[in-house]
Amino acid sequence: MTVLDRETLHASLQDPALESIGFLNEIMGCYPDAISFAPGAPHPDPYTELDATRYLDRFLAHAAAESGRTPVQAGRLLYEYGPARGLINGIVADALRRDQGIDVAPESVVITVGAQEAMLLTLRALASSPRDLLAVSDPCFVGITSAAGLLGVGVVPVTDTAEGLDVDALAEACRTARRANRRIRACYVAPDYANPSGSRMELRNRRRLLELAEQEDFLILEDNAYGFTAVPGTELPALKTLDTGRRVVHIGTFAKVCFPGARVGYAIADQDVRTARGSTVPLAAELARLKTAVTVNTSPVCQALIAGMLLEHGGSLAELSRARSALYQRNLTHLLEALDRHTVAGLPDGVEWNRPGGGFFVRMRLPVPVDAALLEASAADYGVLWTPMAPFHPGGGGTHSLRLSCSYLDPERIDEGVRRLVTFLRAKISGATGGGVDGRTDGRTAAVVRR
């Protein structure tokens, strides 16, 4: 029998973030009845009665009208591989222009297998030398740092504050890299309610980041997964909306506003790339070329489902996401109010949390180490799960923090989960002895940590 030592395999397989996700999956599997604040998965209610046939027919009717073919002839689009850059680029470009003021041609859009592939392809295209570095917020979504590890791209953590990425610290990181004969090639940022911190970048800092990108000649990878959860009237323009110098590659996903099983994302990459012949093509075309070596194309059926949903809502992402946004605003408000009620009743000293205005996540700090042993005790004795924050910190840190996700639960489960969590914290931190709290979930605990 062939046995391979992990040390002989690629170093990315020893990424601590992968280890932590594996451990969390194991814990969730061992305690399926625990109330789980761990998964950042979308709530299942909006798509439990999804009419896939209607959305497919809606897209095919549109495709037939656009091409002059019959719906039956247009149906062939769903049975073939299709172009690597995508089938629904024009529909997505129109929606972004209408809703966010991002005005790009369909040729500058590439449709990907989720936002994760968009990140991988973009990072692969930009990081052409061992000198090239990726700056990331610290804490940071593990998907981008794992992609960097897979590609062998060095990561430079930059502090994430309550107002978003510390632009001054990023400027210093650029100078430090230059002194070492390296360069910050790209900076990943999620300006609206980032995973896992929940932070939001102020408008002034958004403009400063764009100015710094121009000065230091790097591109910004903007992850726009949670912008739609802003309370109406509090929206801020995406970095791409403010991007007059084409410094931003805008990355999005339909997992939160449509349904995650489709695995459809996109990248807006309108930067010009000069070819060997002197002509120019959009960076999106280069990403599509890379995609042919990774996934070949994004499922035409899945693209058609997403496009059909958009078309049913007037081609508007904002219209499509309105009900979802209200659901997540309700859940976040409910989680914060539940925590506040227990504050009045008394919580151990040193327990504190942030108060994001949107998104899926609340970050809680404890006066004790937040490690695997603490999580297992929480699950086994109190029936409540959460996510340790340390794996989200590429620069180290987060050892006393945890992440609570409110997206996947209903209000009554949030209430019960907070009650269990607070009981656990009082027993663990105050040194009190406490027995387990019995309880059952509704069977919807997610199997993995998702975006």
Q: With 0-12 CB in 10 A as exposed, 13-18 as middle and 19+ as buried, what is 277?
A: exposed
Dist. CA 362–CA 356, nearest whole Å:
7
pLDDT at 16: 78
- Lowest mean pLDDT, pick from 5-9, 21-25, 230-234, 403-407: 21-25
pLDDT at 12: 86
pLDDT at 445: 28
pLDDT at 431: 60
Q: What is the pTM of this model?
A: 0.91
Q: How confident is the model at residue 440 (pLDDT cuts 50, 70, 90)?
A: very low
User: Which CATH class, in words, describes the domain spanning 9-46+322-430?
Assistant: alpha beta
3-state secondary structure of 268: strand
> CB within 8 A of 65, min separation 6: which ones?
none
Average pLDDT (150-169) is 95
Dist. CA 154–CA 130, nearest whole Å:
8
Do 51 and 429 touch, CB atoms closer than 8 A? Answer: no
pLDDT in tens, 104-148: 999 999 999 999 999 999 999 999 999 999 999 999 999 999 999
* Cα torsion 21, 27, 409, 38: sign: negative
pLDDT at 432 exceeding the cut of 60: no
pLDDT at 163 exceeding the cut of 60: yes
pLDDT at 436: 37
9-46+322-430 and 52-319, same CATH topology: no
Cα dist from 53 to 60, 63, 305, whole Å? 11, 15, 8
pLDDT at 332: 97
The answer to whether the bond into 16 is cis (omega within 30° of 0) is: no
Domain residue extents for the chain: 9-46+322-430, 52-319
Q: How confident is the model at residue 287 (pLDDT cuts 50, 70, 90)?
A: very high
pLDDT at 422: 94
Query: Which of the listed CATH numbers 3.40.50.720, 3.30.300.30, 3.30.565.10, 3.40.640.10 matches domain 52-319?
Result: 3.40.640.10
Average pLDDT (63-85) is 89
> CB within 8 A of 395, min separation 6: which ones?
138, 157
Q: How confident is the model at residue 443 (pLDDT cuts 50, 70, 90)?
A: very low
Selection from 325, 359, 332 nearest residue 418 by Cα: 332
Dist. CA 343–CA 339, nearest whole Å:
6
pLDDT in tens, 215-274: 999 999 999 999 999 999 999 999 999 999 999 999 999 999 999 999 999 999 999 999
280 or 23, which is more confident?
280
> CB within 8 A of 37, min separation 6: which ones?
384, 385, 386, 387, 403, 404, 405, 406, 409, 417, 421
- Strand-pairing partners, residue 135, are 156, 187
Tokens representing 293 are: 């070596």
> CB within 8 A of 100, min separation 6: which ones?
237, 238, 240, 241, 317
The letter for the amino acid at 232 is P
Q: How many C-beta atoms surround the C-beta of residue 6 within 10 A?
A: 9
Average pLDDT (179-202) is 96
Do 335 and 346 touch, CB atoms closer than 8 A? Answer: no
- Lowest mean pLDDT, pick from 163-177, 257-271, 293-307, 422-436: 422-436
Average pLDDT, the chain: 91
pLDDT at 446 exceeding the cut of 70: no
pLDDT at 429: 85
- Lowest mean pLDDT, pick from 67-71, 271-275, 283-287, 312-316: 67-71
